[in-house]
Structure 1
């Protein structure tokens, strides 16, 4: 593994369990080049009609304004394409992903670059990469009927061709045994990275 992209999305900064798990995993994977994208900085725009049109326009056909609107999406897609391994550090907010991660998804889903339409439906173009999700939840059990984060994120990643997805979760940490659940998740990180 040489190029690792670490995408964090917790608003808790250094106190984030999902980010702590992700940082540990990234350190253990020992990539030669690590790019970290902190989505909690709120520097990603939500997609609107003009930005959507700019993202759809072929590069050579974009106006100067469209190049400006598509610049951040181009950067995010470049990061995905360059990575051999992608680590998502994701908290569960209200049973699903943070809004900033959804904004990221809307920007990187680009027909012709990250997926394409075929006679058999969409086909992801970002194949051959390994994805890890380090997740933390206060009360939602990952894989339960009220977990909308992990199935949505796995489906979206699969849509882009990222199908080798592994999840490490410290879930239900606000309840009894929270510290033990966090410790167990860190042990799982060690096992995965071995």
Structure 2
């Protein structure tokens, strides 16, 4: 089994989403681990021309496009190697961080991670499960103004993740200590259900 852990918080120290994604991975047991930190290793900005080329899997030999396509293939390779994806997501301005949106733009490619069929889009990654740890300053996770967790769940299913689990680490749950305690309890309960 292989776990892909994706961290997105701009806060490198004292980040609830980082603490909890680390905890979740530790509770999954002895797994192969791929770490993709979208802040420590920021993905490059893509020009409009190259973004269109990446999404169309263009065969043009423009150097910048080939660099972006190569990075896209690397990121998709990490996804395809994983049975489980763990997202540590900090909510900024009610949605996902820009760094995570850039990753999404690199990995959502027609004919590669999804395809369109008679019944609409079909995911191609075959990933068994994803855990989305959503940390917020106060916005309740799952509320009408949470445009992060539901969006990321949609993306997961769009590319073929079979099951998506949510861990609520919203600041509305109290002090940082209480937020961490509550989220760890959610993680423990989810994993116990899986093994029951």
Task: Provide TM-score, normalisation by structure 2.
Answer: 0.89
Give how far 1:46 is off.
Answer: 3.1
SS in 2 for 1:141: coil
Give how far 1:81 is off.
Answer: 0.3
Give how far 1:42 is off.
Answer: 5.3
SS in 1 for 2:131: strand
RMSD: 1.9
* C-alpha separation in 1, matches of 2:125 and 2:34: 17
Q: From the superposition, tell whether residues 120 and 3 of structure 1 become closer, same or farther in structure 2 (CA, over 3 Å).
A: same
SS in 1 for 2:79: helix
Q: From the superposition, tell whether residues 31 and 72 of structure 1 become closer, same or farther in structure 2 (CA, over 3 Å).
A: farther
Does 2:178 match 1:180?
yes
SS in 1 for 2:165: strand
Residue 90 of structure 2: aligned partner: 91
Q: From the superposition, tell whether residues 110 and 16 of structure 1 become closer, same or farther in structure 2 (CA, over 3 Å).
A: same
Give how far 1:179 is off.
Answer: 2.5
Give how far 1:43 is off.
Answer: 2.1
SS in 1 for 2:24: helix
Give how far 1:136 is off.
Answer: 0.9
Contact 1:55 1:70 (8 Å CA) reproduced: no
Contact 1:139 1:172 (8 Å CA) reproduced: yes
SS in 1 for 2:39: helix
| Number of matched pairs | 190
Which consecutive residues of structure 1, in runs of 5 or more, have no partner in the other structure? none
Q: From the superposition, tell whether residues 192 and 171 of structure 1 become closer, same or farther in structure 2 (CA, over 3 Å).
A: same
Give how far 1:17 is off.
Answer: 0.3
Residue 52 of structure 1: aligned partner: 52
Contact 1:91 1:98 (8 Å CA) reproduced: yes
Give how far 1:52 is off.
Answer: 3.0
SS in 1 for 2:171: coil
Task: Provide TM-score, normalisation by structure 1.
Answer: 0.89
Residue 7 of structure 2: aligned partner: 8
